[in-house]
């Protein structure tokens, strides 16, 4: 994430290099502060007026962090933006209060906390059921002094796309349609797709899709999309907020039988510093407005149009009447 220039009117927000803040505390964070802070779990929710907003360092996370900061600034909070592109570092920093607020993904974060708490062999906590996922996530987070705010309307989950011409030729709108068609499908995805339940095994089991092989070109990469556009592969694994599909002539097939987990965007906060009603109310305004389609369009403005995340975030909030 690039720092704002002097011309940007952001007096209430500072952008600090992650290493300057985190290096002194890495030793403490590496084992996680949850054990030493466990007595604070039942502390009353706090409402600190100076909050550090974390970003995981990719476009979507940067955009969400910028929007959180802008809304909190307007509500009278002072904010610092901090990029830490590694959950193994930023989650312990969130527990310890070095980071106060971070955008997360419900099912993915639930599974991550579950593995951290119960071991990597524990059954997954995330599922396609949003309600069940949120209950599991909030229970796991509470043990670590974290509060998970309500999910918004936007969801960024795994998705599958085919070429527009292929979909038109075979009358495909959903993954169920593809399974019913009996077509043989070569899938462009990461090499882990051959064993992940949401990918090739799930497509076969849940939809009856005849996946003949996995072309290991990565998740949503340019090479993977080009392979589908050229006809080398018939389908690509990407995400619901992929902003480049149209440029490759690709369209998503709806997950009509809910194979994918409920990765709705949720703000996660340090309870003792930002778990009060103030932050909840401010960020809830964004949840009421931001949709999956909106998020894909915002990603496109940054990734394809080369706009700054701070500018894109500010324009969006103003257009939606959330920012003066």
Q: The domain that contains 22 carries what CATH number?
A: 3.40.190.10
For residues 162 and 297, state if they share a domain. Answer: no
282 vs 49: CA distance, rounded Å:
13
For residues 239 and 272, state if they share a domain. Answer: no
Distances (CA, A) of 259 to 165, 184, 272, 289: 25, 19, 36, 26
Does residue 28 carry a pLDDT above 50?
A: no
Of the chain, the percentage scoring pLDDT greater than 90 comes to 83
For residues 270 and 224, state if they share a domain. Answer: no
pLDDT in tens, 43-59: 679 999 999 999 999 99
pLDDT average, residue stretch 23-48: 53
Does residue 15 carry a pLDDT above 80?
A: no
pLDDT average, residue stretch 269-287: 96
Q: How far apart are the first and last CA of the chain?
A: 24
pLDDT average, residue stretch 67-95: 96
For residues 84 and 214, state if they share a domain. Answer: no
Which contiguous run of DSSP H or E holds residue 306? none
Instruction: Identify the domain containing residue 247 by its residue range.
Output: 158-253
Does residue 39 carry a pLDDT above 60?
A: no
For residues 27 and 124, state if they share a domain. Answer: yes
Domain with 227 in it: what CATH number?
Answer: 3.40.190.120
74 assigned to some structural domain: yes
pLDDT of residue 25: 47
CB 193 within 8 A of CB 236: no
Tell me the two tokens of residue 235: 């389908």
The total domain count for the chain is 2
Nearest one of 216, 167, 26 to 175, comparing CA atoms: 167
For residues 235 and 308, state if they share a domain. Answer: no
324 assigned to some structural domain: no
For residues 28 and 149, state if they share a domain. Answer: yes
For residues 165 and 144, state if they share a domain. Answer: no
The strand pair at 146-148 and 265-270 is best described as: antiparallel
CB atoms within 10 A of CB 253: 20
CB 143 within 8 A of CB 33: no
């Amino acid at each position: 994430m690039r720092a704002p220039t002097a011309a940007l009117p952001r007096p209430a927000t500072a952008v600090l290099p992650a290493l300057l803040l985190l290096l002194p505390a890495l030793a403490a964070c590496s084992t996680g502060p949850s054990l030493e802070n466990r007595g604070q779990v039942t502390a009353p929710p706090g409402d600190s007026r100076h909050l550090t907003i974390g970003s995981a360092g990719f476009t979507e996370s940067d955009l969400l962090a910028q929007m959180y900061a802008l809304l909190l600034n307007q509500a009278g909070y002072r904010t610092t933006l901090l990029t830490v592109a590694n959950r193994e570092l930023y989650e312990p920093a969130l527990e310890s209060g070095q980071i106060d607020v971070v955008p997360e993904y419900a099912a993915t974060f639930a599974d991550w906390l579950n593995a951290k708490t119960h071991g990597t062999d524990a059954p997954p906590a995330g599922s396609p059921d949003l309600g069940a996922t949120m209950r599991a996530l909030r229970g796991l987070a509470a043990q670590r002094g974290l509060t998970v705010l309500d999910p918004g309307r936007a969801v960024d989950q795994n998705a599958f796309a085919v070429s527009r011409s292929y979909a038109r030729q075979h009358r495909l709108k959903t993954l169920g349609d593809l399974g019913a068609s009996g077509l043989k499908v070569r899938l462009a995805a990461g090499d882990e797709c051959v064993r992940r339940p949401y990918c090739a095994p799930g497509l076969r089991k849940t939809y009856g899709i005849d996946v003949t092989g996995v072309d290991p070109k990565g998740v949503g990469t340019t090479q993977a999309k080009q392979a589908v556009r050229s006809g080398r592969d018939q389908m690509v694994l990407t995400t619901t907020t992929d902003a480049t599909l149209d440029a490759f002539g690709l369209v998503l097939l709806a997950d009509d039988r809910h194979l994918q987990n409920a990765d709705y965007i949720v703000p996660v906060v340090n309870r003792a510093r930002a778990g009060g009603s103030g932050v909840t109310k401010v960020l809830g305004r964004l949840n009421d407005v931001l949709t999956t389609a909106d998020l894909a369009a915002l990603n496109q403005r940054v990734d394809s149009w080369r706009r700054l995340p701070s500018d894109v975030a500010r324009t969006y909030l103003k257009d939606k009447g959330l920012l003066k």
